[in-house]
Amino acid sequence: MKINKTIAGLAAMTAVALAGGAVADPDEDELVINGEIAIVTQTAAPAHLEGSLDEIYSGWRFRADGTQAMEMDDFDNPGMLGVEVGEELFAKAWGSEGKSCADCHDGAESLADVRPTYPKWNDAKEQVYTVQMQINDCLTERMGAEKEKYDSSSMLNLEALIASVARGKPVNVAIDGPAQSTWEQGKEIYYTRYGQLELSCANCHEDNYGNLIRADHLSQGQINGFPTYRLKNAKLNGVQGRFKGCVRDTRAETFSPGSPEFIALELYVASRGNGLSVEGPSVRN
């Protein structure tokens, strides 16, 4: 058993140094979308990260110039195709009540304060809600429609629309009050080592951001840009789907999108980005 743990530990250290230990600090480029939406991509870390990080950076700052440029213009950002579909879904009548999102909300722009503050505590449901959970409540309780699967294409397109109208607004996720116990659970998950490689979220995104892993630079793992269009799989990706991939990459049994564990983790990770701008749908590798 001790030998296996030693091997796993060596594998974990080797994973970050596969490409020769190359380091790339976040660049100094500034993100302005469409020449008019200024995005905060670097700011002082929130108080609850004292002792861990002094500054926080959007993942955009770790990307190559070509990838960065795609996000700077909506005509070049493939994630905006999802926003267009989201606009169609927003106007669509769902379910037995014959209602659309637009029947209750005065355009998607009226939801501009949603993405910066979620996940958040839902008093009526007595639990922390993500944006996708809130969308599902609207579908099932107000529209008489079937519940959408977590991270389904329809969900991600609607979430991309909601994120797009909030671009430039600061992330401001509450972690006190009734949400605190869920936040503490998410923090514990963030620092827990998983899998045969015995890696935690913090090992990559706090201890080794800027290091080259395989052919990509590790970022701080901020989620202010989600949903994000990944060039790797040529589609929009959700936060919890990305969590699933990360845990799986440690060679561990992973949680499922929509699970209590990933809801807690999303709350915690979102709070690590308090002060950065919403910038979704972003473009990443």
Give the span between the Cα atoms of 55 and 43, in whole angstroms. Answer: 6
Half-sphere exposure (Cβ direction) of 134: Cα atoms closer than 13 Å: 19
Q: In this structure, what token pair is assigned to residue 177?
A: 């009050």
Nearest in space to 29 (alpha carbons), one of 59, 61, 73: 61
Q: In this structure, what token pair is assigned to residue 263?
A: 């809801």
Active-site entry in 101, 201, 204, 246:
246
Give the span between the Cα atoms of 117 and 173, in whole angstroms. Answer: 5
> Would you call 104 a catalytic residue per the annotation?
no
Bond into 119 cis (ω within 30): yes
Give the span between the Cα atoms of 229 and 83, in whole angstroms. Answer: 11
Helix (H) or strand (E) holding 163: helix 153-164
- DSSP class of residue 199 equals B
Instruction: Give yes or no for a contact between 241 and 229, defined as CB atoms under 8 angstroms apart.
Output: no
Q: Which residues are catalytic?
A: 246
